[in-house]
Structure 1
Amino acid sequence: MLTIHHLRISQSERIVWLAEELGLDYDLKLYDRDPETRLAPPELKALHPMEIAPVITDGDLVLGESGAIVEYIVGKYAPDTALVPGPDHPDFADHLYWFHFANATFMTNGMMQIAVAAVGAEMPPPLAKRVTNAWQQIERRLGEADWFGGSALTTADIMMVFQLTTSRAFRDQGIDHLPNLRAYLQRIGAREAYRRAMARAEPGFTPKLD
């Protein structure tokens, strides 16, 4: 049985959403953050050397890292899914770009912002420009296409959305000035699989879709 270990208010919501989009049969285990450190509790840390979410278990397998988990689940349970355009699809390159942008660039930016704020400092201008550029690129992309991966929802969207929504609970990040993004998040919020995933993964938490 595939088990998703989800740390509340964390990027592991992506994996729950993916499982719902694919209609998979899975077990979900929820973990609350330590009230003092706001980090994972000991029982989740014990699962994987990184001591963070997401983590899945599947039989004897224990796997961490969002992108690896997404590729594993798709490869094993849904290799023909339309959520991953093939090499001959016109959206193939865009899907790959945004799938990897999500953690390689965008998540890194967000973590830098959190770290700088935690020590009471201001973002150095080069890093602040990197953050601004990323948000501008996102807004521009969503003016060109309805989805990050192109003509339809892909796993690129599943990777991107956490940082655009729930992650903003950790910092003051308004999106009133980003109309394309706001329209996109309404499309996300209209998806039944997303609503089911958030209800299961984050009971009592209202998704930050505006």
Structure 2
Amino acid sequence: MLTLHHLNNSRSQRILWLMEELEVDYDIAFYQRDSVTNLAPDSLRAVHPLGRSPVLSTPHGAIAESGAIVEYLVHNYAKDVFATPTEAEALQQYWFWLHFAEGSLMPPLVANLVLEKARQKGSKPFFIKPITDKLVDGILNAYYGPNLAQSLRYVESYLSKNTWFAGDEPTGADVQMIFPLESLVASGRAKDFAAIQSYVKRVHARPAYKAALEKGGEYAYA
């Protein structure tokens, strides 16, 4: 039996979606973020030393990292749906998007989130706020902002010509890509990217995705 160690408002939601698509038998162990720090609870370290979610307990031990979990599930359970593409071009796209999600898209997205929180904390005392704002704006404008914008343009261009990220059917690449894209849509950062918005709606309309939301509980997207 598989057990997904599921943290609210986290990347583990997309693993729930994949397991629903694959129709595998699994249990869910629920964890809640700290209300002050928003971090995962220490109890997750008992499952895996990193103490982060998702973690999947398997007959072979605990496995962490979304991409590794996706590959494990696809390798062991995918048959007619969500299988690794066999056609050469689709397979190459599969590898690319599977790693692009966390390697290129998520870092500037997380950096923007962290820096905006730093901006908010810098509002007290009041005379610190202009300094904090200038520092945050400088970092965002110099690197993270342009990096994220470039990635969004690339994703938008690809999705304007393709329904899914790796071939004619959804794959593990889509499982990886949905988390950052639905976050960008929910936060309003993708308001000018029609193809990305349509893609997120397409995923959200899938029965397995809806079932995963019902099982996973709280999920704020952004």
TM over 0.5: yes
Deviation per CA, 1:10-50, whole angstroms, max 9, x where unpaired? Answer: 00111111100100110011111111111111212332121
Contact persistence 1:102–1:160 (CA under 8 A): yes
Cross-structure match for 1:102: 101
Cross-structure match for 2:67: 67
Segments of structure 2 that go 5 or more residues without pairing to the other structure are 120-135
Matched to 1:50, the amino acid is: L
Residue 161 of structure 2 is aligned to residue 144 of structure 1: yes
Q: 4+ residue stretches of structure 1 with deviation over 6 A? A: none
- After TM superposition, the structure 1 stretch with the greater mean CA deviation from structure 2, 142-151 or 8-17, is 142-151
With over 3 angstroms needed to count, the CA separation of the structure-2 counterparts of 1:8 and 1:115, relative to structure 1, is: same
Matched residues in 2 for 1:101 and 1:207: separation?
A: 19
Q: TM-score w.r.t. structure 2 length?
A: 0.84
Cross-structure match for 1:113: 112
Matched to 2:176, the amino acid is: M
Tell me the SS of whatever aligns to 2:106.
Answer: helix
Identity, in percent, stands at: 32
Cross-structure match for 1:193: 208
Q: Per residue, is there more helix in 1 or in 2? A: 2
Tell me the SS of whatever aligns to 1:83.
Answer: coil
Contact persistence 1:175–1:182 (CA under 8 A): yes
Matched residues in 2 for 1:191 and 1:163: separation?
A: 18
Cross-structure match for 1:16: 16
Residue 182 of structure 2 is aligned to residue 165 of structure 1: yes
Tell me the SS of whatever aligns to 1:57.
Answer: strand
Deviation at 1:86, TM superposition (A): 3.5
Deviation at 1:89, TM superposition (A): 4.6
Contact persistence 1:33–1:40 (CA under 8 A): yes
Contact persistence 2:7–2:30 (CA under 8 A): yes
Residue 25 of structure 2 is aligned to residue 44 of structure 1: no
Matched residues in 1 for 2:151 and 2:2: separation?
A: 34
What does 1:116-135 align with in structure 2 at a 5 Å threshold?
116-120=115-119, 121-122=136-137, 123-135=140-152
With over 3 angstroms needed to count, the CA separation of the structure-2 counterparts of 1:59 and 1:185, relative to structure 1, is: same
Cross-structure match for 2:33: 33
Between structure 1 and structure 2, the one with the greater Rg is: 2
Deviation at 1:207, TM superposition (A): 5.9
Matched to 1:83, the amino acid is: F
Matched to 1:97, the amino acid is: F
Contact persistence 2:156–2:195 (CA under 8 A): yes
Matched residues in 2 for 1:147 and 1:5: separation?
A: 28
Contact persistence 2:85–2:166 (CA under 8 A): no
Contact persistence 1:148–1:157 (CA under 8 A): yes
Contact persistence 2:4–2:26 (CA under 8 A): yes
Matched to 1:117, the amino acid is: E
Deviation at 1:166, TM superposition (A): 4.3
Deviation at 1:81, TM superposition (A): 4.5
Matched residues in 2 for 1:136 and 1:13: separation?
A: 25
Segments of structure 1 that go 5 or more residues without pairing to the other structure are none
Matched to 1:39, the amino acid is: L
